[in-house]
Structure 1
Amino acid sequence: MELPAIIDLEASGFGRGSYPIEVGVALSDGSIHSTLIKPPESWVHWSDEAQAIHGISREQLNEEGKSPREVAMFLNNLLMGETLYSDAWSFDSSWLGRLFDEAEIVQRFRLDTITRLLKEDELGAWSDIKDQLTQDLGIVKHRAANDVKLLRETFKQVTSQR
């Protein structure tokens, strides 16, 4: 079975005013792509609690991040016409919308929830398998590249009995 393309975003926090700071993509060919996003001056929301979880500072974003326009163009070029799947669809779709709005570019790929690809018993096993893989693989969560790797491996294991 071909693996789905998976996307994950890290953000400045949750709720109104939050914005994307990192995006990671795991493609069906096995490749992983990720980039930090340099927030424009109008993006001011910042949660110290979120920073404590993902470990990305505003200084790091300003030094290493790419502009929203660069990131949006990169994603469109990489993902044109694809459907990507997220385990946090409502958050990720909102943050992608904010990124593409800021870039003033039309998003050229779709985003859907990964749960749409899973059977009921697979949904039930998802969380436990994901937690076990996090331990087994020693994955540091809440960085976009690591999270898409974890989601891809979880999807592989959960659906391996098909």
Structure 2
Amino acid sequence: MSCPTLIDFEASCLPEYGQSYPIEVAVARTDGSSRAWLIRPAEQWRYWDWSDEAEALHGISREMLEAEGLPPAQVLSEMAAFIEDCPVYADADLDQYWLEVLCQAVHAKLPFPVHYLGEFLREHGFTRPQVVAALEEAKRRLPKEHLAREDAKRLALAVKLLVDGEVS
């Protein structure tokens, strides 16, 4: 099973601290395949907010984005191609918001909806103890946090552990 796909963004700051924009996005499938992109800031984000606290968490600097980030349109296109027809889930509604901000920057429609991961877990009848156990095991195997590429892979692993019945 390679679907569903899990998505995670890192941003310039959390929305409660200002007008934030996406700086990294990652998508991971339950088969272990994943992709991650640094996002070069769009021109319209030039005066949006940046948080030193957020930078300290994810370790992505403005200089890194300028040097290594890809244009938003390219990120959006490559991400949509990787996802194909898989349903996309996130563990926070902020991921949908940052996808919308990314699309608005390039005047594009949303390429896919982002569903709340809790919906998937509920639809498949997983219990809270099962979910907690899967998340703990995934975190044990993939302990790095606050990096979109690691967070998406950890969520995909947790879903795989649940679907495969590897946690009880």
TM tier, smaller: 0.7 to 0.9
TM-fit CA distance, 1:154: 1.2
Question: 1:138 and 1:107 mapped to 2: Cα distance?
Answer: 30
Corresponding residue of 2:9? 9
Match of 2:41 among 35, 39, 42: 39
Corresponding residue of 2:71? 67
Q: Contact 1:80–1:109 (CA<8 Å) still a contact in 2?
A: no
Instruction: Pick closer, same or farther for the CA change 1:124–1:18 going to 2, 3 Å.
Output: farther
The alignment covers a number of residue pairs equal to: 160
Corresponding residue of 2:28? 26
TM-score (norm 1): 0.86
Question: 2:2 and 2:70 mapped to 1: Cα distance?
Answer: 31
How is 1:72-151 mapped onto 2 (pairs within 5 angstroms)? 72-88=76-92, 90-119=93-122, 122-127=127-132, 129-134=134-139, 136-151=140-155
Matching residue's letter, 2:24:
E
Runs of 4+ in 1 over 6 A off after TM superposition: none
Q: Contact 2:142–2:154 (CA<8 Å) still a contact in 1?
A: no
TM-fit CA distance, 1:138: 4.7
Question: 2:134 and 2:84 mapped to 1: Cα distance?
Answer: 31
Percentage of matched positions with identical amino acids: 34
Question: 1:154 and 1:21 mapped to 2: Cα distance?
Answer: 24
Question: 1:108 and 1:65 mapped to 2: Cα distance?
Answer: 21
- Higher mean alpha-carbon deviation, 23-32 vs 107-116, is at 23-32
Gaps of 5+ in 1: none
TM-fit CA distance, 1:125: 4.0
- Residues 82-116 of structure 1, C-alpha deviation per residue, up to 9 Å, x if partnerless? 3201011x100000000000011112222101111
- Residues 58-82 of structure 1, C-alpha deviation per residue, up to 9 Å, x if partnerless? 1101100011111112223333443
Q: Contact 1:82–1:110 (CA<8 Å) still a contact in 2?
A: no
Instruction: Pick closer, same or farther for the CA change 1:133–1:83 going to 2, 3 Å.
Output: closer
- Higher mean alpha-carbon deviation, 54-63 vs 125-134, is at 125-134
